[in-house]
Chains A and B, each alone.
Chain A
Amino acid sequence: MVTAERVLITGNEAAAEGAVRGGCRFYFGYPITPQNDVPEYMSRRMPEVGGTFLQAESELAAISLCHGAAAAGAVPMTSSSSPGISLKQEGISYLAGCELPALILNVQRGGPGLGDVRCAQGDYWQATRGGGHGDYFCLVLAPYTAQECCDLAVLGMHLAEKWRNPVLLLTDQQVGQMMEPVTLPPLGPEAVGDPDWALTGAAGGRPRHFIHSYCGRPNELVEWNEKLIAKYQRMATEEVRYEAVEADDAELLLVAYGTSARLAKAAVTAARARGHKVGLLRPISLWPFPSGAIAELAGTARKMLVVEMSWGQMVEDVRLAVNGRADVELLNTFGGAVPRLPDIEARIEAMLA
């Protein structure tokens, strides 16, 4: 349905089209609900922009194809949903270890194990703590509308290339499968890695490049880790993103992302209409987490309420940020259930009483 520039599409399609417009010309996928419209969309879309679509034989193959394409100077994309993302973790660790760019979409579903195909946010820890083995971080972006799925995919393509690092786009079943109007940005040129490091067959007789994560010489891995850690520290200060809604004078601050944030935002609007000083801090980057912004608000907001669809994962980052200076409560659902607006409103009333 990409005829006009303002289209009605799913969050999944918006993420796919955003990646394309951000310069993605290589997509490697494998089916799993609730992200199947991403590979379906890309199978049509990639040939239109002269790109490559390939359905791999497994999730591991798809992420390894990303590794190969990225090493050769592309900024590739893959997508999956929770159990499939677990299967990709080896490859994501290798991408980070080799400093290779890729955009990875996780449309979260219920877990653990095969779980179910409904809405969940149980992959927060996996996403924000690297996910695979070894010390590393992915940049994690969390859209809450179809428009933001598109915009953050464009940004994710740019950040992956800028930092030579995997970028995770973390959504959920509802954000992914819901259709909303999306204003599409212009189609950008193909994103390419810097020929200073990409493998180009030593074009022009330049010295050979060697992309690897194995460091066998004494002290080599220490130095390599020091270099990566310095990069993550820069990312942590430069790439923090969040939206603050009525937060400055809020005595009670809600913290939520994705589908949970849509409901939390409505609860804030309703509470303000009743005269309560309630606000919302919506992390857009989950790593780096907007700890500084939350810590600052902890002076005014003596209470915080984290709304999330897990047993309580992001709430730990909020507690770390607040460091005891505010009471942090959790309102959560899990197992495929979505928080209900009346329940959030009731909890707000109870916390303010």
Chain B
Amino acid sequence: MMEERILIAGAGGQGALTIGKFVARVGMEKHRVTYFPSYGAEVRGGTAHCHVVMSDTEIASPVVERATVLVLMNQMSYDRFAERLDEGGLMLLNSSMIDADGATPRGRTVRIPATQLAGEMGDIRVANMILTGALNHFKRIMDDEALLRVMQEMLGKEPSKVKLFDLNKTAFRIGAEQAAKLG
């Protein structure tokens, strides 16, 4: 039985919620999914986070208390959410913005310098897609055809969006390649 409980967190504007929506949108083609964003008493400069549950059986709660996958994009997210990793889980860290080595006895920690890699591509905003590529390398929750189609759908198909699509596609590939180097 397949079940992934994914928590994604970053600073507002880093694209954490976009990762969640993207993963849920691709995942829904094969599995049951829920996507639950954080709202409420969030403050400017604080963390934005969302929960994605993907399962082959009915999903009771959309809230991720123990995560099989954590994607953490900045130090504050790490400090707040690292302890939510479940036994045997995967913690993906944006090492460009998190100092801790993240080592945990509970599961595997993978450090990807996503913001730095995105900067080298010319746009730090695609750090989120680099992490998504890495996530998919380890978890294979999305197939290539569907993820490209959904990426294009979410970004828009207008000619003006072609460059943006290519950029995100490349970021996704770079993330997957980085992850592959780590095994």
Query: How far does the alpha carbon of A179 sit from the alpha carbon of B37 in the complex, in Å?
Result: 9
Query: How far does the alpha carbon of A117 sit from the alpha carbon of B42 in the complex, in Å?
Result: 12
- Shortest Cβ distance from A146 into B: residue: B34
Query: How far does the alpha carbon of A177 sit from the alpha carbon of B36 in the complex, in Å?
Result: 7
Given contacts A178-B36, A180-B33, contact A8 B60 (CB under 8 A): no
Chain A residues touching B, majority SS: mixed
The answer to whether A262 and B61 touch across the interface, beta carbons within 8 angstroms, is yes
The answer to whether B25 and A8 touch across the interface, beta carbons within 8 angstroms, is yes
The answer to whether A265 and B24 touch across the interface, beta carbons within 8 angstroms, is no
A42 contact set on B, CB distance < 8 A: none
- Shortest Cβ distance from B40 into A: residue: A117
A116 contact set on B, CB distance < 8 A: 40
Interface size on B, residues (CB 8 A): 21
The answer to whether B153 and A118 touch across the interface, beta carbons within 8 angstroms, is no
Is residue B113 within 8 Å, beta carbon to beta carbon, of the partner chain?
no
Q: Which of A11-55 contact B (CB under 8 A)?
A: 33-34
Query: B159 to chain A: closest CB distance in Å?
Result: 18
A263 contact set on B, CB distance < 8 A: 60-61
- Shortest Cβ distance from B28 into A: residue: A181
Per-position contact with A for B28-56: 1 when CB-CB < 8 Å, else 0?
10001111110111000000000000000
A179 contact set on B, CB distance < 8 A: 21, 24, 34-36
Q: Which residues of B contact A (CB under 8 A)?
A: 21, 24-25, 28, 32-37, 39-41, 57-63, 153
Q: Which residues of A contact B (CB under 8 A)?
A: 3, 6, 8, 33-34, 116-118, 174, 177-181, 262-263, 265-266, 269, 338, 341
Q: Kindly list the 8 A-B residue pairs having the minimum CB-CB distance in the complex, ordered from nearest.
A: A266-B60, A179-B35, A181-B28, A178-B62, A178-B36, A262-B60, A117-B40, A8-B25
Can you name 23 A-B residue pairings with CB atoms under 8 Å? Answer: A3-B153, A6-B28, A8-B25, A33-B39, A33-B40, A34-B39, A117-B40, A117-B41, A118-B40, A174-B63, A177-B36, A178-B34, A178-B35, A179-B21, A179-B24, A179-B35, A180-B34, A181-B28, A181-B32, A181-B33, A266-B60, A266-B61, A341-B61
Known: A118-B40, A262-B59, A265-B58. 16 other contacts (CB 8 A): A8-B25, A33-B39, A117-B41, A174-B36, A177-B39, A178-B36, A178-B62, A179-B21, A180-B35, A262-B61, A263-B61, A266-B58, A266-B60, A338-B63, A341-B60, A341-B61
